């Protein structure tokens, strides 16, 4: 399976959690990793190149720090620019049909906080709904997400353990992931 991971971190140089996750998956030869903010410092996304790359990969992972209960802005722009009518959705827009998508995020909040009544009120599954609907509108297969909670306070050991689990998660078969 060909996997492309699109990392969207506004300041990967200052990151701890996303850097550790990225380093771990970079050991796998079948995983192609890209750094969106590094690739597009001027935010001019090459739509043709992005669409061509999407066609080449079976599974696409979006890895990002959770910012204001959503993804960082360049990734939102990537969705806006790349998932075009007539290409990703709408009549004849079936290029992403059957492709698998996974969201991988790191949060400042704890798992305990992300629930009804908790400090962050909602689960990550609930907060991911707009992105899930976007993928589903494009006929993609939305697979279970990988969340690293408490990323700022977590020890290096915890983050390394998460990175190991992350590597497994994104390489796991669809059948294993959905059951
Ligand atoms: C602008 C901004 C917004 C943030 N919003 C949230 C948020 O809504 N929920 C949350 O749990 N953490 C939030 N955080 C914390 C980050 O998610 C956390 O610092 C990051 O995941 C740690 O990963 P890193 O070490 O790779 O930067 C926010 C941080 C910043 C800078």
- Write down the H helix ranges in 57-114: 73-82
Residue that is written with structure tokens 């903010």 in the block: 37
65 lines ligand 1 (CB under 6 A): yes
CA of 73 to the centre of ligand 1 (A): 13
Predicted pLDDT at 99: 98
Question: What are the CA-CA distances from residue 145 to residues 38, 47, 125, 131, 162 (Å)?
Answer: 24, 25, 8, 11, 13
Q: Is the CB of 150 under 6 A from ligand 1?
A: no
d(CA 46, CA 9): 18
Cα torsion at 25, 31, 32, 37 (round to 10°)?
-30
Q: Is the CB of 8 under 6 A from ligand 1?
A: no
Q: Please report the domains of the chain, with CATH numbers, ordered by start residue.
A: 3-178 (3.40.50.360)
pTM: 0.98
Minimum-distance ligand 1 atom for the alpha carbon of 149: 11
| pLDDT score recorded for residue 87 | 98
pLDDT at res. 140: 98
Residues 6+ apart with CB under 8 A from 102: 59, 60, 61, 62, 143, 144, 145, 146, 169, 170
Question: What's the confidence (pLDDT) of residue 86?
Answer: 98
> Per-residue pLDDT for the chain (179 aa), expressed as one digit of tens each?
999 999 999 999 999 999 999 999 999 999 999 999 999 999 999 999 999 999 999 999 999 999 999 999 999 999 999 999 999 999 999 999 999 999 999 999 999 999 999 999 999 999 999 999 999 999 999 999 999 999 999 999 999 999 999 999 999 999 999 99
Mutate to test the pocket of ligand 1, among 15, 63, 107 (most ligand atoms within 8 A of CB): 107
Q: Which two tokens stand for residue 89?
A: 């959705």
Cα angle 14, 126, 75 (rounded to 5 degrees) comes to: 40
> Ligand 1 centre and the CA of 132: distance in Å?
20
């Amino acid at each position: 399976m060909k996997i492309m991971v699109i990392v969207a971190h506004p300041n990967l140089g200052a990151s701890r959690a996303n850097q550790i996750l990225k380093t771990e998956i970079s050991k796998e030869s079948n995983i192609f990793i890209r750094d969106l903010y590094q690739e597009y410092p001027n935010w001019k996304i090459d739509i043709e190149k992005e669409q061509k790359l999407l066609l080449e990969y079976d599974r696409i992972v979006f890895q990002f720090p959770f910012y204001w209960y959503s993804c960082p802005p360049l990734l939102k722009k990537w969705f806006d620019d790349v998932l075009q009518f007539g290409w990703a959705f709408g009549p004849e827009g079936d290029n992403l049909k059957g492709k698998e998508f996974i969201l991988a995020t790191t949060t400042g909040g704890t798992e305990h906080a992300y629930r009804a009544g908790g400090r962050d009120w909602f689960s990550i599954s609930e907060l991911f709904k707009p992105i899930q609907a976007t993928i589903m509108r494009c006929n993609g297969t939305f697979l279970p997400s990988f969340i690293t909670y408490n990323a700022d306070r977590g020890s290096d050991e915890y983050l390394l353990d998460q990175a190991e689990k992350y590597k497994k998660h994104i390489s796991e078969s669809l059948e294993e992931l959905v059951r």
